[in-house]
């Protein structure tokens, strides 16, 4: 296959504000815009010729009134394609950057933060987020990120719900070193945050089937199509140094195509222009049945459609998903994506581009609470939205193809890849890799030269493992607490939480730091009301209503609603296809059992066969559930059939309790696990080691 190579190069940006790019308010692309002769872009080419040859003439729409715009829109307009004033701010001696630069650095993949546990003078640092389409991480990049976490971060790596790394605690004086190191080691943070396309999700499992390979390839191509082209990232972090990257010819062709007026003519950002998108934009690609990517929560959801022989033929497209909302403001809401239509496989990049351009030109830019594409579709309706997209696409969408039911797939444990080697999915509580786990993962990944993948559920997959390596890898991982999923607390397997305190500036209560205790309390309630150990519910916790851990899809979602209090959401499903609804507001963390006990007891007593907790709460209705909570006096006590207490003396209990605390468990949970593991080992034979 022929491949096109582009070289990212830099431009020298004059420090004098008079020489910055002038005002630009135009948002429309080439078919709907009038050029202004009065506006110019000042750029000084470096000595080496740039392959980004086109510099745009700034433009204005024909209008007699100034459209109201948010402050961030003005920052973008005055930034010379996301350079100024960030390029100056990172050079000052101050530990932080100014307001405009704080917004612009998001496009480069970073957020400015400070430690909210500390009082007095703020201790500023920066969080960096990588861009890894489909969660793919090379061996070289993993080892680099591991080193950077120790040298410049807080000693941990965070696996995110969008299949990326987050590196916390980087000081401003070290930003350029960290960024350039990532770039030089096969990584990037470009576009991991900001008003543009974020990381493109795809199933993390390295399965060698045609569908899975095609889904990953499509995710890579969409990510390449929507990557910024103007070189601002390399100008700021590697002084405009050139980096050669390959792009499939179909990506280059789709980006350049302006048959239907999608592009800004002669602009270094042909798709984004100077203003980029109104807000963040999220895309996921998957195959039928595999909902490991929470497909309906994305601005665009792309599903591979194959023929009876398994050959990919095209794609179903969902549009309009999104999680963020604002408390007590009913005009903001989480929303599921809905079917837009089907496109042949050769048209997918053009269709994606048309959808993005529709949001670019018509999404709201005056109030960022309403700037996501879900609000545009909710306002217009899907028929009008489809009609406008088709104008940019140049074709009618074909009818949506039927799909089988979705399943949540975690890919934990050992699996065949399909090419003679294995992969191993490892559960990581809330995606936080640190301590002995971090050390052991590095040793295994480095020793066996493994590539890895990050899952949308904050877990990690070790790829390309030869069968002879399985036993020593299993032993090493088990010693670091990375166990086979059958030995992990079932509630933990599907739980997620955002980082929240102490570094997230938006957090209003705990999430990552609070979820271990909350899960233990849920397990204690399960035991109290008689639910079995292997029974579970999908629990997700966020420290604010923005929904980074997708709590509005959980069977039980806890959303920060004030200091030490949560809004409780119920009604999501295990396969993430149904939106939860708000059940109660401002429930104090110490009062959670008052809500959990009646709900879980009622579920145990009144559920239908194999009915999940989420389906049960929806069937019962919130009015009945609220009445149950209000009148709750405790479960009806019935004589137990079995004596399941594992401790016969206080000393044994206390010793087990100390060990359990090291694993964020209680004594009873650890004892049951030990007994269960012993029984399993006896059944499997003494010579077989399991993780």
Predicted local distance difference test score (pLDDT) of residue 14: 38
The CA distances from residue 270 to 154, 200, 240, 463, in Å, are 38, 20, 20, 37
Span 408-420, pLDDT tens digits: 999 999 999 999 9
pLDDT digits (tens, 9 = 90+) for 79-97: 999 999 999 999 999 999 9
Q: Tell me the C-alpha distance between 189 and 176, whole Å.
A: 12
The band of 65, judged by pLDDT with boundaries at 50, 70 and 90, is low
Range scoring the smallest mean pLDDT among 276-290, 350-364, 547-561, 634-648? 634-648
* Residue 550 Rama label (left phi>0; alpha psi -120 to 50; beta): left
pLDDT range class, residue 675, cuts 50, 70, 90? confident
Residue 26 has pLDDT above 90, yes or no: no
Burial 329-359 (b: 16+ CB within 10 A, else e): eeebbbbbbbbbbbbebebbbbbbbbbbbbb
**Stronger pLDDT, 41 or 461, i.e. the higher one:** 461
Query: What is the rounded CA–CA span in Å between residue 175 and residue 331?
Result: 38
Which of 563, 428, 441, 447 is CA-nearest to residue 500? 563
When computed from its CA atoms, the radius of gyration of the chain, rounded to whole angstroms, is 26
**Which pLDDT band, with edges at 50, 70 and 90, does 46 fall under?**
very low
- CATH code linked to domain 493-631: 3.30.413.10
Rounded Cα distance between 124 and 505, Å, is: 11
User: Of residues 401 and 683, which shows the higher confidence score?
Assistant: 401
The confidence band for 639, taking pLDDT boundaries of 50, 70 and 90, is: low
Question: Cα angle at 637 between 632 and 642, to 5 degrees?
Answer: 140
pLDDT of residue 646: 64
Euclidean distance between CA atoms 442 and 139, whole angstroms: 10
Q: Which two tokens stand for residue 594?
A: 């008052």
pLDDT score at 682: 57
| pLDDT greater than 80 at residue 345 | yes
- The rounded mean pLDDT for the chain is 89
- In a 13 Å sphere around the CA of 450, the CA atoms on its Cβ side amount to 26
Q: Please tell me the predicted confidence (pLDDT) of residue 99.
A: 98
Dihedral sign from CA coordinates of 622, 623, 624, 629: positive
CATH architecture of 413-488: Alpha-Beta Complex (3.90)
Predicted confidence at residue 650, as pLDDT, reads 64
> What was the pLDDT predicted at 681?
58
| pLDDT of 52 above 90 | no
**Is the pLDDT score of 679 beyond 90?**
no
pLDDT at 5 over 80: no
Assess whether the region 413-488 and the region 493-631 belong to the same CATH fold: no
Task: Flag whether pLDDT at 599 surpasses 60.
Answer: yes
Instruction: Give the contacts of 349 (CB within 8 A, at least 6 positions apart).
Output: 221, 222, 225, 250, 251, 254
CATH homologous superfamily, domain 196-393 = Sulfite Reductase Hemoprotein, domain 1 (3.30.413.10)
pLDDT beyond 90 at 658: no
pLDDT at 3 over 70: no
Sheet hosting strand 136-137, strand order edge to edge: 136-137, 452-454, 460-465, 422-426, 413-416
| Separation of alpha carbons 343 and 394, rounded Å | 12
Q: How far out from the chain centre does Cα 34 lie?
A: 38
pLDDT at 21: 34
Reply yes or no on whether the pLDDT at 661 is more than 80. no
Question: Of 20 and 641, which is predicted with more confidence?
Answer: 641
Alpha-carbon gap, residue 580 to 614, rounded angstroms:
8
pLDDT tens by residue, 462-508: 999 999 999 999 999 999 999 999 999 999 999 999 999 999 999 99
Q: What is the mean pLDDT of residues 174-178?
A: 98
> Token pair for residue 364?
């709201």
Report whether pLDDT(430) > 80: yes
* Confidence (pLDDT) at 638: 60
Contact 164, 145 (CB under 8 A): no
For range 169-193, the mean pLDDT? 98
**DSSP-assigned letter for residue 596:** H
Contact 382, 358 (CB under 8 A): no
Domain boundaries, the chain: 196-393, 413-488, 493-631, 640-690
Residue range 124-151, pLDDT digits in tens: 999 999 999 999 999 999 999 999 999 9
pLDDT digits (tens, 9 = 90+) for 520-540: 999 999 999 999 999 999 999
Residue 18 is predicted with a pLDDT of 32
Of all residues in the chain, the percent with pLDDT exceeding 90 is 81
- Residue 106 makes CB contacts below 8 A (sequence gap 6+) with 193, 194, 195
What is the mean pLDDT of the segment spanning 641-654?
A: 60
Neighbours of 382 (CB within 10 A): 15
One DSSP character per residue, 165-208 reads EEEEEE-GGGHHHHHHHHHTTT---TTSSSSSB-PPB-------
Interval 644-655 mean pLDDT:
64
Give the mean pLDDT of 573-590.
98
């Amino acid at each position: 296959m022929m491949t096109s190579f582009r070289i990212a190069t830099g431009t020298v940006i004059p420090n004098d504000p008079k020489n910055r790019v002038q005002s630009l308010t135009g948002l429309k692309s080439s078919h709907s815009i009038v050029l202004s002769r009065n506006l110019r872009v000042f750029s000084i080419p470096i000595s080496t010729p740039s392959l980004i040859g086109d510099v745009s003439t700034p433009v204005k729409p024909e209008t007699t009134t100034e459209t109201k715009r948010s402050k961030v829109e003005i920052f973008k307009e005055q930034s010379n394609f996301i350079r100024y004033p960030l390029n100056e701010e990172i050079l000052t001696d101050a530990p932080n950057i100014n307001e405009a630069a704080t917004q612009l650095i998001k496009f480069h993949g970073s957020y400015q933060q400070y430690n909210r546990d500390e009082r007095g003078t703020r201790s500023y640092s920066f969080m960096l987020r990588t861009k890894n389409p489909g969660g793919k991480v090379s061996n070289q990049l993993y080892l680099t990120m591991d080193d950077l976490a120790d040298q410049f971060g807080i000693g941990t790596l965070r696996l995110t719900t969008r299949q990326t790394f987050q590196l916390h605690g980087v000081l401003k004086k070290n930003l350029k070193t960290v960024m350039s190191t990532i770039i030089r080691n096969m990584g990037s943070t470009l576009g991991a945050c900001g008003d543009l396309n974020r990381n493109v999700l795809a199933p993390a499992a390295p399965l060698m089937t045609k569908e899975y390979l095609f889904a990953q390839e499509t995710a890579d191509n969409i990510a390449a199509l929507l990557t910024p082209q103007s070189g601002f990232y390399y100008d700021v972090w590697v002084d405009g140094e050139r980096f050669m990257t390959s792009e499939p010819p179909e990506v280059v062709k789709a980006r350049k195509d302006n048959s239907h007026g999608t592009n800004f003519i002669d602009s270094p950002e042909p798709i984004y222009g100077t203003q980029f998108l109104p807000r963040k934009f999220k895309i996921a690609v998957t195959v039928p049945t595999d909902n490991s990517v929470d497909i309906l929560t994305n601005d665009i959801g792309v599903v591979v459609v194959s023929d009876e022989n398994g050959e990919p033929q095209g794609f179903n497209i969902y549009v309009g998903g999104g999680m963020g909302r604002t408390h007590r403001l009913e005009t903001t809401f989480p929303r599921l994506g809905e079917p837009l239509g089907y496109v042949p496989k050769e048209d997918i990049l053009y269709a994606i581009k048309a959808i993005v351009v529709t949001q670019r030109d018509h999404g709201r830019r005056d109030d960022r609470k309403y700037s996501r594409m879900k609000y545009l579709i909710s306002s217009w309706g899907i028929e009008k939205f489809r009609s406008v997209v088709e104008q940019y696409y140049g074709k009618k969408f074909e009818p949506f193809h039927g799909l089988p039911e979705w399943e949540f797939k975690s890919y934990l444990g050992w699996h065949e890849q399909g090419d003679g080697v294995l992969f191993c999915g490892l559960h990581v509580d809330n995606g936080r890799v640190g301590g002995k786990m971090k050390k052991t993962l590095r040793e295994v990944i480095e020793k066996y030269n493994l590539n890895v993948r990050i899952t949308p559920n904050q877990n990690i997959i070790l790829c390309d493992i030869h069968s002879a390596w399985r036993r020593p890898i299993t032993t090493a991982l088990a010693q670091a607490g990375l166990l086979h999923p059958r030995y992990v607390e079932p509630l933990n397997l599907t739980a997620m939480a955002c980082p929240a305190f102490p570094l997230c500036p938006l957090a209003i209560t705990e999430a990552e730091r609070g979820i271990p205790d909350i899960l233990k309390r849920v397990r204690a309630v399960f035991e109290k009301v008689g639910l079995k150990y292997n029974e579970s519910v999908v629990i997700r916790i966020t420290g604010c209503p923005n929904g980074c851990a997708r709590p509005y899809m959980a069977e039980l979602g806890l959303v920060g609603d004030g200091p030490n209090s949560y809004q409780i959401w119920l009604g999501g499903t295990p396969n993430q296809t149904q939106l939860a609804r708000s059940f109660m507001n401002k429930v104090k963390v110490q009062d959670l059992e008052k809500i959990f006990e009646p709900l879980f007891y009622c579920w145990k007593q009144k559920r239908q066969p194999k009915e999940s907790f989420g389906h049960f709460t929806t069937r019962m209705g919130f009015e009945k559930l609220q009445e149950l909570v209000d009148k709750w006096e405790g479960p009806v006590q019935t004589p137990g059939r079995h004596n399941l207490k594992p401790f016969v003396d206080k000393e044994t209990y206390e010793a087990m309790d100390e060990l359990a605390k090291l694993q964020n468990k209680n004594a009873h949970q650890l004892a049951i696990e030990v007994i269960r593991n012993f029984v399993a080992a006896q059944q499997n034979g003494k010579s077989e080691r399991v993780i």
